[in-house]
Amino acid sequence: MKWWWRCLGTALHHAALEQARNRLALVLVVGFIPLWLTLAYRVLPTEPVRFFLRAASRPVNLEANTVTQVGGGLHAIALIVGFMLFLATSRSAEFDYRLVLAGYPRVCLLLARTGVLLLAAALSAGYATAWMCVFHQPERLDVMAGALLVGALTYGGVGILLAALLRSELAGMFVVIMVSLVDLSLQSPILNPAADSPTLKWLPAYGAMQSAVSAIDLNLTPWCHLLLGLCWSAGLTAAGLVAFAVRTGHHTSTVKGLLRPRAVRQRLRWAALHLLHPVRARVYRQAGIRDAAVITGYEICRRLIRRSGPVDAALTQLLPARLRPLFWAIYGYGRTIDDLADNQQHDRQERLTRVSQFSEQLESDLRQGHSSDPLRAAFVHAVWTWDLPSDGLGATNAIYRLDAEGKNTIATWDDWHAYWHTLSFPFGVTRLMTLLTAPGLTFTPSDAQALRAWTNAFNLLDALRDLREDAAQNVAKLPATVLDEYAVTTEDLARGLPGGRYAAMIHAMTAQTRQWLKETAAAGTQHPPMATALRTLVDLHMLEVNRIEQRPESLLQGRSKPSVIRFQYTLLRGRLRVARAWRRHAQTAASPPASSHLPPPADGARNTPGTQPLLPPLPHASGAQPPQLPAHRLPQHVAVIMDGNGRWATRRNQPRSAGHEAGQSALRDVVYGALEIGLPYLSLYALSTENWTRPAAEIDTILRLIQEGTDTETEEILRRDVRLRWSGTPDGLPPDLVHSLLRTVHFTRNRTGLTLNLCINYGGRSEITQAARELARQAASGAIDPDTITSRHLASHLHQPALPDVDLLIRTGGEQRFSNFLPWQSTYAELVFLDTLWPDTDRTHLWDAIDSYTRRERRFGAIPTPTTPTSQILIVSE
Ligand code: IPE
Ligand code: IPE
Ligand code: MG
């Protein structure tokens, strides 16, 4: 409860501050009200006018200038308070929304908004009444003040309501002016001789105007009219607050009860979407999203992006329509969990609890495939629809947990890269890249390089934009070395005190951003639609960079946005170009492909198997010979988790990449050892789907080594009788690597020696999942009866269905776990864990492990029967 009051106090404080910041409204209240009253009093004739006043139920004679003054005064405060509340509500909408997402009680925000409305209305009504008294003492001061208060409250309510309905400040102001002009001009007995018409009773300012005019010279209390005015103001304020609640809510909405049943509401929303936003409805259709409940969630995410600023919104618009919902959902998730992690209303423990709860709920929703919360439902839908790697999500959630605890220290540029890379790549960008590929439209290394340079620029600009907000939480999303170099502290930034050192630091950061943007533009991208989108983004970022360079302090004032017209013009041009690039590609792709899907072997004539003799395996450096192994007990399939490269390098004070390089020699030696003993199948774990969370530089090294190691031209083991197979997914791998892997697989397909199954970008769960998906597809199409499905059906959809189960699983490096390696195939594998680090491993370790394997008893669930041949037991197991 104490926390609740504290929240209310903070909300009130912020709302009042927001009002006080509206200098134009203050000037209008302080200057315009007296000016208007003075002019009306001095300029207009004093002669009496006779009209029928409904509040008195009789004709009255009142001086024209006094009546005009009162009507004008009422109009002025209605306008000013309406405008004030509109502006404050619409400007704080995003902040309020983020607070609600972060668990802030919405009712506090509603009460704060009401409190501020009452305060603004009371102060301006009191002030206007006081000025009226300067010219003419009303007969009933209390009624006059009450009437002005009621008028101000009514239009304050209009302002709050409009803020929920309209986006542009100009539109809001215009509507407030027009509504009040029509309403109050018609009510004025001076301007409208028919002001006593009964129709006018239905207009919002009727009660207020009747009461105010009666207060000039009549000693009566028009209770009915005051009450009517109060009803209008209460009704409009309530409508405004409900709209505000709807806008700020996505879960546990206070208005939810009012709008039940849920299904009806969703259907109405769906119909409204088609009617009011046919373009967006088409986006959903193109993405194949039809469930109204899920669309509600996607819409929440989309609105989050729109509120987060023009750049993020532009990014979405440059994507093909079918992928936009995916981007919305990823963004919605990131934004929500980020807000939970950053919410300074809570202490560290509370933040951590909330982030953990959110990620656990999300992970459980992901497992179930649906969620009761619309935002999470959209996210789950996106993960399932676009097959996002939910494992990558774990790494991202872990970063947010550290953020919540304030433990994410970004000391150096390396940390900075690792931080942003983990937040954006494993989960989102990598998959998005693969989704942007199409037949004839793949990503080359230069595309990947451009994308990486651009994400760096994007993230640095993001960090700069949030500089002050982050600093208020004693955080800076810049490397500490940069802040130290310029002797800038987060306290300075939080206080918004720019100085020479600050300007120099911002200048260095914008120079760095420029550099990355230049690299993006110069990378020579080969994916035309993406190249066009990146060019547009570079132009858009340049606009912002220029603005920041001209006015570094604008960052601390939250005004670093470039001119709207130039921004929108650049974006529009870019969108047209990107659309044209996709269209052009579609036309080219529609024509028949020039070559077959599988790339032909390179230099086929020289390297065709058979034309060049296959070499015997190289002997071990020490001359070691294979041990005598009982042929009938030899394993068929050995799988190796080649672990320990990093530690090997670290122990030698070398970069981790040196460990991976050294691991290559171990790999070759083990392959020779396998060839020497005639092992039929060897699976090697080279890169897991989880390894993408490692720093980009390390991944680059691993990918390079894989590329070199699978090149038939240069790789020595491929000149032996080795048939290459690949288990894993192409998602996220550089297309040229995928190309060269497929080529080598094809090139070595007829060899009969060792089948070397390289597990590259492999994840056991995703392998099983995609097999299950394929079965489900067949069942849905009627090709297979679900009741007849056996484990063999599933196994036939694994990456390498022809491979036998793993007999022996070896892991080097001292760890004793599977790390998502061949879970389906290894259910009955014998395990050997070696302390030796992979680079120190050679064929003798393989032989030793196999030797120990030959002495083990494999039971497959049966009772020990030493005489039972393995083949019989295998039948029992099936
Ligand atoms: C395994 O070695 C190789 C790959 C993941 C490609 P590590 O790099 O995991 O080495 P350690 O476990 O950190 O020592
Ligand atoms: C397993 O090693 C993956 C490969 C050897 C390619 P990791 O080092 O990635 O496994 P964990 O993270 O220690 O479980
Ligand atoms: Mg490891």
What does the pLDDT average to over 764-781? Answer: 90
Could you report the per-residue pLDDT of 390-445, keeping only the tens digit for each?
556 777 888 888 888 887 778 899 888 888 877 776 666 766 776 777 656 666 77
Indicate if 643 belongs to the active site.
Answer: yes
Distance CA 809, CA 668 (A): 18
CB 203 within 8 A of CB 189: no
Could you report the per-residue pLDDT of 849-869, keeping only the tens digit for each?
999 999 998 888 887 655 544
Pairing of strands 830-833, 808-811: parallel
Could you report the per-residue pLDDT of 456-500, keeping only the tens digit for each?
999 999 889 888 878 877 788 899 999 999 988 888 888 877 788
Q: Which two tokens stand for residue 510?
A: 């914008």
Could you report the per-residue pLDDT of 373-395, keeping only the tens digit for each?
889 989 888 877 776 765 567 77
Is 596 a residue whose pLDDT tops 70? no
336 vs 6, more confident: 336
CA contacts within 13 A on the Cβ side of 681: 21
Catalytic choice (643, 669, 807, 842):
643
> What backbone phi and psi angles, to 5 degrees, belong to 498?
-70, 150
Report the pLDDT value the prediction gives residue 172, as an integer from 0 to 100. 82
Whole-number Å distance, alpha carbon 814 to ligand 3 midpoint, is 9
* Strand-pair partners of 695: none
Rounded to whole angstroms, the maximal C-alpha distance in the chain is: 125
For the chain, the distance separating the N- and C-terminal CA atoms, rounded to the nearest angstrom, is: 61
Domains, the chain: 2-253 (no CATH), 291-408 (1.10.600.10), 420-592 (1.10.600.10), 638-859+867-876 (3.40.1180.10)
Report the pLDDT value the prediction gives residue 514, as an integer from 0 to 100. 95
Which regions of 537-692 does DSSP assign to beta strands (E)? 637-641, 681-688
Distance CA 589, CA 582 (A): 10
Closest atom of ligand 1 to CA, residue 656: 8
Could you report the per-residue pLDDT of 227-261, keeping only the tens digit for each?
988 898 888 888 877 777 766 654 444 444 444 45
Q: Which two tokens stand for residue 299?
A: 């819409």
Alpha helices in 386-527, H assignment, sequence order: 390-405, 413-424, 430-435, 445-465, 467-472, 480-485, 490-495, 500-522
Could you report the per-residue pLDDT of 18-58, keeping only the tens digit for each?
777 777 778 888 888 888 888 877 787 778 888 888 888 88
Q: How confident is the model at residue 305 (pLDDT cuts 50, 70, 90)?
A: confident
Pairing of strands 58-63, 48-53: antiparallel
What does the pLDDT average to over 86-97? Answer: 75
Distance CA 150, CA 11 (A): 24
What does the pLDDT average to over 775-801? Answer: 86
Report the pLDDT value the prediction gives residue 652, as an integer from 0 to 100. 95
Q: How confident is the model at residue 565 (pLDDT cuts 50, 70, 90)?
A: confident
Report the pLDDT value the prediction gives residue 342, as an integer from 0 to 100. 81
What does the pLDDT average to over 763-769? Answer: 95
What does the pLDDT average to over 347-375? Answer: 85
CB 463 within 8 A of CB 482: no
Whole-number Å distance, alpha carbon 134 to ligand 1 midpoint, is 84
Question: Using a CB cutoff of 8 Å and minimum separation of 24, what contacts does 830-837 make?
Answer: 830/635, 830/856, 830/858, 832/808, 834/810, 836/644, 836/812, 837/643, 837/644, 837/645, 837/647, 837/648, 837/659, 837/812, 837/813
Closest atom of ligand 2 to CA, residue 646: 8
Whole-number Å distance, alpha carbon 150 to ligand 1 midpoint, is 72
CB 242 within 8 A of CB 255: yes
839 lines ligand 1 (CB under 6 A): no
817 lines ligand 2 (CB under 6 A): yes
